[in-house]
Structures are given as structure tokens and as C-alpha cells.
Amino acid sequence: MIKLINVTKEYPRRGPALEDVSFHIPKGQFCFLTGHSGSGKSTTMRLIHMAERPTSGELRVSGFTSERTSRRDIWKLRRRVGYIFQEFRLLPGRTAQENVAFALEVTGTPRHSVAPKAQRLLTQVGLATKAGAQVHELSGGEQQRVAIARALANDPLVLLADEPTGNLDDRATRGIMDLFWEINAMGMAVLMATHDLVLTRLYPKARVLELDQGRLVYDSQVAEVEV
């Protein structure tokens, strides 16, 4: 599903953001990507989403490889990989339903299916009754749910979440985490970047990868095997 093979990413003035990182996330796995700020979590997420390319090494995501996927074909990958940000990135001045419908419409969903599917997705994330609300009228947790519904618009195989609970209180965080587990239970792989180690301990079934200064320093799966 997601495979990084000796991936290194260097920036001209900053030096290496990732160094020789390798891991494999199979289909349906729930995985935390942890580490301090600047450890390379967001860079890893951006590489998997092919917003950037590795300086060396290879990256494979759902049949797409970093070496062979041209810029012109990235849209195909993006439809298989949903992405969620810490800061939600919803379109202001539109309702929850319109935000989800927008993602459906711009990716070619037939017009007659857009509204019902948007409503179904909002129901899935627990916002059936808030579909008509403007996004600024929603709480942080609700806005993140809208963002998750939008990320699910194209029935992706993988969900990438970059610090999705970073702006939320504990209660909203739990709600969002429960939602991720529900989505994961449906067979979707989830890779969630977070610096919150307490959060990762609340979900012992999840795999944990830890980055430190661009290097992979811990993999719970390997650690278990080694133990």
C-alpha cells in the first residue's frame, strides 16, 4: 500500500529532512507517525502524497511509484489517497455540504450523485444534521469531520492525516480518533502524523513509527518482532 525504500529528502538550504527512511504500511493498517517538530513527519506525508519527490530512494503508494508517476498523473494518486490537515483547510463562506460536494464535483462525480453522496459522507462522519451549516458556525472538531468527509469523497484506499487533532480539545480529539478507527475498520489504511505520544499510547493496537532528525528510530512492529 505505502512503501518507502531508502528515502532521503534534502532541501537546498536546510539540508536533509529525511535520511534513508524505509517502511511498509500494508492495506488496512492503522499507523502513527510520531516525532518532535522538525523530525520529518510532514515531509514524509508530503512525499507520500507526491506533493514533493524524494532526493533519492523510492516511494510506492497504491501502485504509483515516485520515479514513474509524472506530474500529469498525480491526480490519479490523489484520488486514492485522502489527506487531512491540522488546520482543516475548508472553503470559507460555504456550508459543510458544499465543501464536501466541491470535492466530489471537481473530481468528476455525476451531478445527480453529488448531493446524495455528500450527505451520505457527512452522515458517516456524524454531521448529518449540520450539512447546511456554514463552516464558521461549526466547532473545530466538526470542521475536522467535514475535512474527513471531504477526504473520503473519492473512496480512497489510504487516509493521510497530518496532526489532525493538533487544534482540538481532548473531547473532540477522542471523537476524531474514534472516527479514524471506524474508517480503518472498513479496510482503509490510515497514517496519522502526530507529536502527541500520549495519544499513541491510548491506541495500543496501532503501529507506531518514530522519526528523529529525519531518521526512522523506532518501529513498533519491528520492536515487537525483535522482542
Partner 1 sequence: MPYTVREAAAAFRRAPVLTGLSSAMIGLALFVVGLFGLAAHNLRLALETIEERVEIVAYLRDGALTEDIALADREISSLPEVLAVEFVTKEEALLKAQRELPEFNNVFADLDVNPLPASLEIQLRPGNQNPTTVARVADYASEYPFVEDVQFGREWVDKLFTLRRMGAVTAMILGGGFAAVAALIIGTAVRIAIFARRDEIKIMQLVGARDSFIRRPFLLEGAVTGTMGGALAIALTWATHQAVFRYLFSISWIPAGWVASGLAAGAVFGILSSSLAVRRYLREV
Q: Per CB under 8 A, does 50 bind partner 1?
A: no
Give the three-state DSSP class for 124. Answer: helix
Gap between the Cα atoms of 121 and 101, Å rounded: 10
Compare residues 107 and 113 and give the one whose CB is closer to partner 1: 107
Near partner 1 by CB under 8 A: residue from 150, 175, 191, 214: 150
**Could you tell me how many residues of this chain bind partner 1 (CB under 8 A)?**
20
Near partner 1 by CB under 8 A: residue from 10, 20, 58, 105: 105
Interacting span for partner 1 (CB under 8 A) from 4-12, 84-92, 127-135, 219-227: 84-92
Q: Per CB under 8 A, does 78 bind partner 1?
A: yes
Q: Which of 204, 200, 202, 207 is nearest to 221 (CA)?
A: 207
- Cell numbers 503501529 correspond to 207
Number of residues written out for the chain: 227
Q: Per CB under 8 A, does 153 bind partner 1?
A: yes
Give the three-state DSSP class for 170. Answer: helix
- Residue 217: CB partners within 8 Å, gap ≥ 6? 210, 211
Residues that bind partner 1 (CB under 8 A): 72, 75-79, 83, 89, 91-92, 102-103, 105-108, 150-151, 153-154
